[in-house]
Amino acid sequence: MDQHVDRTVVSADGTVIAVSDAGTGPALVVVGGAFDHHGTPYLTGLAGTLRDRYRVVTYDRRGRGASGDTEPWSIDREVEDLAAVVASVDGPVSALGLCVGAGVVLHGLAGGVPLDAAVLWEPPYRATVDPHADDVVFADLLDEHVAVGRRAQAVRAFLAHVLGVPMGQITALRLKGALWRSLIVDAHVLSRDVRVLNGLAIPERVAAAVGVPVLVGAGGDGLEWMRQAARAVVEAVPGSEYTEVPGQGHVPEPEAIGHVLDRFLARAAARG
């Protein structure tokens, strides 16, 4: 199944957001990671796997893919984008946030976006970073790289510093021409993701404002610091739960994340 842009919604500031729909069933809005948007292989595969039991709604975050972009950017605008997508869907809506997308969903929940429940998969915070910090120094550095044309350097720095990708793996990515070029395309929005992630510090005030069922997941075969971060998010979000999925890493197999969704959303619905 080729994922495609089915429709658009207009965010509060007039930015046009591209939306894709797949399948039927309870509505699930998926907010992808830094390099995810319509047509990228992982989101396409995920929608194809889940479409037999969910209405899978994906969208291109502003500045990415087929969506528009309006300056100045802010986290509040990202929340408004998510709210516009959710408002375009009839009936109850749940969310799946992947990587940085988990940070967007967390802000959306705290900001009152009407979601019934959410699964957050490996938000790449650091459990050891001062939760009261608002460190944008690294985000500023990424902006500087892009401003002077060092887009590849911005991507390398983001992969290494935010996602913890070893330099050897980054070098291997650079040898995959088409894939590396697709990452370079999104270099200009990576600093925004650092800001969404509060400089990698868990945003305690944001987390404390969440009032719906939340499950934070991590892969048993992934990085230990991501599991620690996931558990720290659970400590910060009232009433939330942690799950660790054996055999999975930062990019979970679609069927594995589907099982996590099925179990948690069924329990959340039963609780009313």
Q: What is the mean pLDDT of residues 233-255?
A: 97
**pLDDT tens digits, 153-205:** 999 999 999 999 999 999 999 988 889 999 999 999 999 999 999 999 999 99
Q: What is the mean pLDDT of residues 241-265?
A: 97
Distance CA 228, CA 234 (A): 10
Distance CA 43, CA 222 (A): 20
Identify the band that residue 9 occupies on the pLDDT scale cut at 50, 70 and 90: very high
**pLDDT tens digits, 74-122:** 999 999 999 999 999 999 999 999 999 999 999 999 999 999 999 999 9
- The predicted structure's pLDDT at residue 38: 84
Contact 3, 47 (CB under 8 A): yes
Distance CA 184, CA 189 (A): 10
**pLDDT tens digits, 191-242:** 999 999 999 999 999 999 999 999 999 999 999 999 999 999 999 999 999 9
The answer to whether residue 132 scores a pLDDT higher than 80 is: no
Beta strand residue intervals within the chain, DSSP E: 7-10, 16-22, 27-31, 55-59, 93-98, 118-121, 214-219, 241-245
- The predicted structure's pLDDT at residue 4: 57
The answer to whether residue 2 scores a pLDDT higher than 50 is: no
Distance CA 45, CA 73 (A): 30
- The predicted structure's pLDDT at residue 133: 54
**pLDDT tens digits, 33-70:** 999 988 889 999 999 999 999 999 999 999 999 999 99
* Residues in Cβ contact with 100 at an 8 Å cutoff, skipping those fewer than 6 apart: 33, 34, 123, 124, 193, 196, 197
Residue 267, phi then psi, degrees to nearest 5: -65, -40
- The predicted structure's pLDDT at residue 135: 55
